[in-house]
Chain A
Amino acid sequence: SQQGEEDPQALSIQEGENATMNCSYKTSINNLQWYRQNSGRGLVHLILIRSNEREKHSGRLRVTLDTSKKSSSLLITASRAADTASYFCAACTSGTYKYIFGTGTRLKVLA
């Protein structure tokens, strides 16, 4: 399977805590992106990091990329109950238009 893997599969934290989720992929990439999915809905783009970048911030989100290990992490700081959702990474294979998704992390933030 080309599909990437994410860990943990599920994460439960208290409001105000930080949430970290990790993604591994299998090929050389153009970029890696993170998406959020609320139950039963389509995916919404959160942040994109290019293959020549190592870290990127957007609001409460921080993404890192280690191309030598083929891995990325997403940190959500000061989490809120509204952050409860599934989070997916998607890696775009170099030289193609193929976006391959990871298996996802289900985040639950308790108020």
Chain B
Amino acid sequence: NAGVTQTPKFQVLKTGQSMTLQCAQDMNHNSMYWYRQDPGMGLRLIYYSASEGTTDKGEVPNGYNVSRLNKREFSLRLESAAPSQTSVYFCATQSGQGGTGELFFGEGSRLTVL
């Protein structure tokens, strides 16, 4: 039982390049989330998906796009990477209905944009 799996774990990009971070869960949870964590800033919500087929903006959505491909997978795309997007990205799922449950996190994807 893998829980929440993120790929890749590490990535280095040049400014202007694009990439997609993948997240897959085997917990059968409806809700999925993408956060970024910068030093001293805690976690900031980028996008979330309450259920398959829906996505909503979080606190810091600019520069990102997401796709909820199916119930298991939620991807985060950077179309034109910028140094300000250097961060650790975490995917999470939520166990309850209507924002009532705990979040389960992946191990993170460390992205550096040069």
Residue A25 at the B interface, CB < 8 A? no
Q: How many residues of A contact B (CB 8 A)?
A: 30
When distances are taken between beta carbons in the complex, the residues of chain A under 8 Å from B42 are: 3, 6, 88, 101-104
Interface residues of A (CB under 8 A from B): 1-3, 6, 9, 30-31, 33, 35, 40-45, 48, 50, 88, 90, 92-93, 96-104
Contact with A30, one of B33, B100, B108 (Cβ below 8 angstroms): B100
Q: How many residues of B contact A (CB 8 A)?
A: 29
Q: Are B31 and A88 in contact (CB under 8 A)?
A: no
When distances are taken between beta carbons in the complex, the residues of chain B under 8 Å from A43 are: 43, 90, 92, 103, 105
A contact patch SS: strand
CA distance A83 to B114 in the complex (A): 35
When distances are taken between beta carbons in the complex, the residues of chain B under 8 Å from A99 are: 33, 45, 94, 99, 103
User: With contacts A1-B59, A3-B42 known, is A97 near B94, CB below 8 A?
Assistant: yes
User: With contacts A1-B59, A43-B103, A99-B103 known, is A88 near B43, CB below 8 A?
Assistant: yes
Question: Can you pick out 17 interface pairs between chain A and chain B where the beta carbons lie within 8 Å of each other?
Answer: A3-B41, A3-B44, A44-B105, A45-B103, A50-B100, A90-B103, A92-B100, A97-B31, A97-B50, A97-B98, A98-B48, A98-B56, A99-B45, A101-B44, A101-B45, A102-B42, A103-B41
